[in-house]
Amino acid sequence: MKLKSLQSTAVILASGLVLASCSGENVSEPALSAQTPNATTTEAEEQTETTTSEADSQTRQAAMDSAAAADGFSTEPTEKFGDGYGELRTTDIRVGSHDGFDRLVIEFEGTGEPRYHIGYTDDPRQDGSGFPIDVPGAANLEMIVHGTAPDMSLDAEYEPNTNLGLASGNIVDVYNGGAFEATSQYAVGLNSERPYKVEILHEPTRLVVDFRN
């Protein structure tokens, strides 16, 4: 009787182990199913990817701006003044594209150097009258150049208050505002606001504006 009792006990214990083993397999399944992504997880990952992409874009733009600034390019206003103004007549206005930049050149004859203040504006207006300037492009760089000939007839080759139809690269057109009290005005239409730098070159005298492309 004791042997049968032990055998019965062994059978019961073995059955319990089998059930426990089966029960253990059932417990592990929810852990596997938990790895399946749900809508909330996917949305969070997409938001993380979007945020990371925006941060990378901002980092690249900051690096480009830093490189441009190191070369003297900037989107900030710039000006140059000095003692006395020149007496200059515009002889040529031209644009061109080069490796890394687009260029606007205003060439003069006469004495002295041009003085200027130049900067981007959302609302370009004619110097003197204050009338709006309509120049093509998504961005406008206004140029006020001092020391040009007070006699407007000297610049008759370039009709005032009109777009000159000059385009190259990111430069869409150039507006000539004419001369008023020894001051000439130009507005450069661009396809977007670009870092730029300004130089005065000589022999002949030229006012040069380069736009980073």
Closest CA to 190 of 103, 107, 130: 103
Collapse the DSSP code of 207 into the 3-class scheme (helix H, G, I; strand E, B; otherwise coil) and give the result: strand
H runs (alpha helix) in the chain: 2-33, 39-70
- pLDDT tens-place values along the chain, 213 residues long: 443 443 444 444 444 433 344 444 444 434 434 445 565 655 655 565 555 666 665 666 555 555 556 689 999 999 998 777 788 988 899 999 999 999 999 999 999 999 999 999 999 998 878 899 999 999 999 999 999 875 555 555 677 889 999 999 999 999 999 888 889 999 999 999 999 999 999 999 999 999 999
The two structure tokens encoding residue 150:
């007070």
Q: Which residues contact 23 (CB under 8 A, 6 or more apart)?
A: none
CA distances from 167 to 50, 56, 76, 178 (A): 37, 33, 23, 19
CATH number of 77-212: 2.60.40.3500
Collapse the DSSP code of 24 into the 3-class scheme (helix H, G, I; strand E, B; otherwise coil) and give the result: helix
Q: Where in the chain are the domains?
A: 77-212
- Element containing residue 115 per DSSP (H, E): strand 115-121
